[in-house]
């Protein structure tokens, strides 16, 4: 099992470039199946979730080639040989459910094992199923597999009970070649929703309104291959912005879309962090002492739940009492006990974390319970005095490309250690 060893307490500085958006890529790569053709997709992040997804797609018969250090993926989807994705292939990732919508849209049939992913709540998929059924599919769940099939898919109006990212993308994919018009009401509006819709349109789909309150999908007869570039990862960008703020550093995060960062920037400003925006970069630097604030996670354009753990770590080093309310997932505060072991003072009451700041973080041995919580522990470790050892970093590898290399590029002392390397190799005292 690999671990991260961090010697903290040093302000980060310099420039770091953001990779392609994991959660957009996880929708776009399965969506390529709808082309039944060749798609060239650029700016794909090199993270484990993508590796797992591509292996599952290869098993379906997709021929895959890589260019540009694996950041460009060329997918030949002309000879799909099966429509079943078993548990072995996708137990580690949540986004396997996109294969369900993509195969249903392309072949009117698919069977995919129920998804894995981060354990941050119960994460039902009833809205996905409701959407497939409304379009005319029959859905059965048997032996851990979801089976969907339809004689034909017909456009319909679907109201989502909550703005679910996964259900919105899945229904768009199932509806692109349905007969007639589908309206998705109360859809999610995250940047990756718009990116997936743009990708589908580049393959010949007719989708309007992605990013607004209603998405209109007019069914088309046929799709075709395309070339497309994935947007930058807004959560990775936000993580480096918080890394700068928590260490009192001066970091410019490049290759991002400032519009996607508005909620994070607003909260950093409120805390007294210096933020300077450029066309495709944001500089985050120490200005005043960090002030206490209140944050509530909400669907986009609200504050992202995927930034909640990283921000809670930041609140732990601010002055006074801050409140973090998690309104999307019911089990996303498990990491706070480890942050407390590092000296943070955090009390969790229901979906709220009460963070009493002002103290100093000190290094400790901790364990990543999921992807973003793992990133939060890394950030805390970078800010803490002394050594922090982080276990279970495979969660972090799910979603951050070359995390330790990028942080070391900013002057962070963070090293990956495996069973074969010793701590002494890094001269950490």
Ligand X SMILES: CC(=O)N[C@H]1[C@@H](OP(=O)(O)OP(=O)(O)OC[C@H]2O[C@@H](n3ccc(=O)[nH]c3=O)[C@H](O)[C@@H]2O)O[C@H](CO)[C@@H](O)[C@@H]1O
Ligand Y SMILES: C=C(OP(=O)(O)O)C(=O)O
DSSP 3-state of 381: helix
| Partner whose binding site includes residue 252, from ligand X, ligand Y, none (CB under 5 to 8 Å by kind) | none
Strand residue runs (E) in 70-225: 72-76, 84-85, 109-113, 138-142, 145-149, 157-159, 181-185, 206-208, 214-218
CB-based contact 408:414 (threshold 8 Å): yes
> Is residue 306 part of the contact set for ligand Y (CB under 6 A)?
yes
> Is residue 26 part of the contact set for ligand X (CB under 6 A)?
yes
| Cα(285)–Cα(269) distance, integer angstroms | 11
Residue with Cβ nearer ligand Y (94 or 189): 94
124 is known to lie in a ligand binding site: yes
> Is residue 378 part of the contact set for ligand X (CB under 6 A)?
no
| Residue choice 111, 236, 306, 326 for contact with ligand X (CB under 6 A) | 306
> Is residue 162 part of the contact set for ligand X (CB under 6 A)?
yes
| Cα(330)–Cα(351) distance, integer angstroms | 7
| Cα(106)–Cα(175) distance, integer angstroms | 10
> Is residue 170 part of the contact set for ligand X (CB under 6 A)?
no
> Is residue 94 part of the contact set for ligand Y (CB under 6 A)?
yes
Residue from 376, 382, 371, 384 nearest 22 by CA: 371
294 is known to lie in a ligand binding site: no
Residue with Cβ nearer ligand X (29 or 60): 29
Q: Is 118 a catalytic residue?
A: yes
CB-based contact 3:396 (threshold 8 Å): no
What is the total count of residues that contact ligand Y (CB under 6 A)?
A: 10
Which is it for the CA torsion 155, 160, 237, 265, positive or negative? positive
Residue 264 CA from chain centroid, whole number: 15
Task: Return the residue nearest ligand Y (CB atom).
Answer: 117
Residue with Cβ nearer ligand Y (98 or 199): 98
Q: Which residue has the tokens 């509006």?
A: 189
CB-based contact 149:173 (threshold 8 Å): no
> Is residue 210 part of the contact set for ligand X (CB under 6 A)?
no
Residue from 258, 257, 259, 261 nearest 238 by CA: 261
Task: Tell me how far CA of residue 209 lies from CA of 107, 185, 200, 238, 428, in angstroms.
Answer: 25, 10, 13, 26, 53
Give the single-character DSSP code of 248: T
| Residue choice 41, 146, 167, 205 for contact with ligand X (CB under 6 A) | 167
Residue with Cβ nearer ligand Y (118 or 282): 118
DSSP 3-state of 31: helix
Residue with Cβ nearer ligand X (199 or 415): 199
Helix (H) or strand (E) run with residue 234 in it: helix 234-246
| Residue choice 165, 324, 375, 390 for contact with ligand X (CB under 6 A) | 165
Strand partners, 229: 42
> Is residue 188 part of the contact set for ligand X (CB under 6 A)?
yes
Q: CB of 188: closest distance to ligand X in angstroms?
A: 6
| Residue choice 33, 50, 83, 95 for contact with ligand X (CB under 6 A) | 95
| Partner whose binding site includes residue 127, from ligand X, ligand Y, none (CB under 5 to 8 Å by kind) | ligand X
Residue with Cβ nearer ligand Y (117 or 412): 117
328 is known to lie in a ligand binding site: yes
Q: CB of 305: closest distance to ligand Y in angstroms?
A: 8
| Residue choice 25, 137, 328, 376 for contact with ligand X (CB under 6 A) | 328
| Residue choice 7, 89, 372, 406 for contact with ligand Y (CB under 6 A) | 372
CB-based contact 313:242 (threshold 8 Å): yes
Binding site for ligand X (CB under 6 A): 23, 26, 94-95, 121, 123-128, 162, 164-167, 188, 305-306, 328-329
- Which sequence positions are flagged as catalytic? 118
Residues in binding site for phosphoenolpyruvate: 22-23
Residues in binding site for UDP-N-acetyl-alpha-D-glucosamine: 94, 123-127, 306, 328
Residues in binding site: 22-23, 94, 123-127, 306, 328
């Amino acid at each position: 099992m690999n671990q991260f060893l961090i010697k903290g307490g040093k302000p980060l500085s310099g420039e770091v470039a953001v990779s392609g958006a994991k959660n957009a890529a996880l929708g776009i790569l399965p969506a390529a199946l709808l082309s039944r053709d060749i798609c060239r997709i650029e700016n794909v992040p090199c993270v484990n979730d993508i590796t797992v997804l591509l292996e599952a797609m290869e098993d379906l018969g997709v021929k895959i080639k890589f260019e540009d250090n694996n950041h460009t993926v060329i997918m030949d989807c002309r000879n799909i040989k099966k429509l079943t994705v078993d548990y072995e292939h996708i137990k580690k990732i949540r986004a396997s459910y996109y294969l369900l919508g993509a195969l249903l849209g392309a072949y009117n049939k698919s069977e995919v094992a129920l998804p894995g992913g981060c354990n941050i709540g119960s994460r039902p998929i009833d809205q996905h199923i409701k959407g497939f059924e409304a379009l005319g599919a029959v859905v059965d769940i048997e032996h851990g597999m979801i089976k969907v099939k339809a004689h034909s898919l017909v456009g319909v109006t679907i109201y989502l009970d909550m703005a679910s990212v996964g259900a919105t993308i899945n229904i768009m994919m199932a509806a692109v070649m349905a007969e007639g018009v589908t309206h998705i009401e109360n859809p999610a509006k995250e940047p990756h929703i718009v990116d997936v819709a743009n990708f589908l349109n580049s393959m010949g789909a007719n989708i309007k309104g992605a990013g607004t309150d209603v998405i209109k999908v007019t069914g088309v007869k046929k799709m075709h291959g395309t070339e497309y570039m994935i947007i930058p990862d807004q959560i990775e960008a936000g993580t480096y912005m918080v890394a700068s703020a928590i260490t009192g550093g001066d970091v410019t995060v490049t290759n991002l879309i400032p519009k996607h960062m508005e909620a994070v920037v607003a909260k950093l400003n409120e805390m007294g962090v210096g933020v300077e925006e450029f066309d495709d970069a944001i500089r985050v630097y120490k200005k005043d002492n960090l002030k206490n604030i209140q944050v509530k996670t909400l669907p986009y354009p609200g504050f992202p739940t995927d930034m909640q753990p990283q921000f809670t770590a930041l609140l732990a080093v601010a002055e006074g009492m801050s409140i973090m309310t998690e309104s999307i997932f019911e089990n996303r505060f498990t990491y706070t006990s480890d942050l407390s072991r590092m000296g943070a003072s955090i009390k969790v009451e229901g979906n709220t974390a009460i963070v009493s700041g002002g103290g100093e973080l000190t290094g400790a041995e901790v364990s990543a319970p999921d992807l973003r919580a793992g990133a939060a522990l890394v950030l805390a470790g970078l800010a803490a005095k002394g050594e922090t050892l982080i276990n279970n970093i495979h969660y972090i590898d799910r979603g951050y490309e070359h995390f330790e290399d990028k942080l070391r590029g900013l002057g962070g002392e963070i090293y990956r250690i495996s069973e074969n390397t010793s701590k002494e190799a890094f001269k950490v005292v």
